[in-house]
């Protein structure tokens, strides 16, 4: 009996990269691309609709970042494997991704063979970290007594506050953010005030600069 193909969802805001991933995976055999998405909100809807076996997920996307997508998908579809694809090799990003539920972490700079090895690894139930970042993660643990970093102002932000910060930096108004996140305008204002206090930043432009620095939005 022929084995059922692995059902894959591609979540990446660059169309050219999505097309490249589609060609690569379909050419490898026994993989079916069941959907694509270019932002976090669309990704959650389509993943929940199709229930794929594997999601290739960019961590930096418009409207809702990959960490929020990870958390929500793993909450509702814990058996779906998620391989994070990112340009960031910072150990804090790795830790946040696995905390959110990622099964693997692969750099976009990786070659064809490494990407396929990452896919095979997570599908077989094993964790995967790109070799370029695994040494950094280990070094971070050793230097900080088994913790990656001391608590910073960034770490003090809740996931919801980070979502609001991302949308603010992308230029959305409080009312639009409330609609995107299904919360009230007053709640958005409260999150905004909390962020400003925690980060000691006191203007929209300062928040935007900080979000760019942290990689929440692209320059």
Residue-wise pLDDT for 50-106, tens only, equals 999 999 999 888 888 888 899 999 999 999 999 999 888 877 788 888 888 999 999
Task: Give residue-wise pLDDT tens across range 148-170.
Answer: 444 578 888 888 899 999 999 99
Q: How many other C-beta atoms lie within 10 A of the C-beta of residue 166?
A: 24
Residues 171 and 97 in one domain: no
Contact 136, 89 (CB under 8 A): yes
List, for residues 74-89, the tens digit of each pLDDT value: 999 999 999 999 888 8
Residue 59's domain comprises 6-143
Q: Select from 112, 143, 174 the last residue of a domain.
A: 143
Same domain, 136 and 181: no
Q: Which own/partner contact pairs does 192-201 have at CB distance under 8 Å and 24+ positions apart? A: 192/164, 192/168, 194/161, 195/157, 195/161, 195/164, 195/165, 198/153, 198/156, 198/157, 198/161, 199/153, 199/154, 199/157, 200/153
Backbone phi, then psi, for 53, in 5-degree steps? -75, -35
- Element at 128 (helix H, strand E): strand 128-129
CATH number of residue 103's parent domain:
3.40.50.2300
Q: Does residue 119 belong to any structural domain of this protein? A: yes
Domain shared by 82 and 108, yes or no: yes
């Amino acid at each position: 009996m022929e084995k059922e193909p692995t059902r894959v969802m591609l979540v990446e805001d660059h169309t050219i990269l999505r097309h490249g991933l589609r060609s690569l995976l379909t050419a490898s055999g026994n993989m079916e691309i069941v959907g694509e998405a270019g932002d976090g909100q669309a990704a959650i809807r389509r993943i929940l609709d199709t229930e794929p076996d594997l999601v290739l997920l960019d961590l930096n996307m418009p409207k809702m970042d990959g960490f929020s997508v990870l958390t929500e998908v793993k909450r509702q579809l814990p058996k779906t494997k998620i391989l994070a694809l990112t340009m960031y090799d910072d150990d804090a990003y790795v830790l946040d991704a696995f905390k959110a539920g990622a099964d693997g972490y692969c750099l976009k700079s990786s070659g064809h063979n490494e990407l396929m090895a990452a896919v095979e690894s997570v599908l077989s139930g094993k964790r995967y970290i790109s070799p370029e970042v695994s040494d950094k993660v280990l070094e971070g643990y050793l230097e900080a007594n088994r913790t990656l970093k001391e608590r910073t102002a960034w770490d003090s932000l809740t996931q919801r506050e980070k979502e609001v910060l991302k949308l603010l930096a992308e230029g959305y108004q409080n009312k639009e953010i409330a609609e995107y996140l299904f919360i009230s305008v007053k709640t958005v204002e409260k999150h905004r005030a909390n962020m400003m206090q925690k980060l000691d930043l006191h203007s929209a432009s300062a928040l935007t600069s900080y979000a760019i620095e942290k990689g929440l939005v692209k320059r």
